[in-house]
Amino acid sequence: MIRMFASAISHAQLLIGFTLYFVLSPVIRHFMTHGSGGNHQIWFFGIYHLVMMSIAILVMTIGSSISKRAKSDPGKFKNI
């Protein structure tokens, strides 16, 4: 139950984050048109944040799939 709830919340957060990132963010709009221009804070939000948060959701989804398919209860909780 907790695995399913955490997975649903994280994927909803991913969709909200992508919407905010690509549609509504003035920082990303500036990054897409002008590049980082040597500003490391804009580079952080333009590239690094998107990649790391996507990898985090990917790892969580893979872990959830592995724990769902485990045969025993200790095996399920070991992977979470």
**Residue range(s) defining the domain that contains residue 35:** 2-79
Please report where in the chains the tokens 């992508």 appear, as a residue.
Answer: 18
Residue 28 has pLDDT above 60, yes or no: yes
Residue 78 has pLDDT above 70, yes or no: no
Number of separate domains in the chain? 1
Separation CA 57–CA 64 (nearest Å): 10
| Dist. CA 67–CA 79, nearest whole Å | 6
For the chain, give the mean pLDDT.
83
> For 1-13, what is each residue's pLDDT tens digit?
777 888 899 999 9
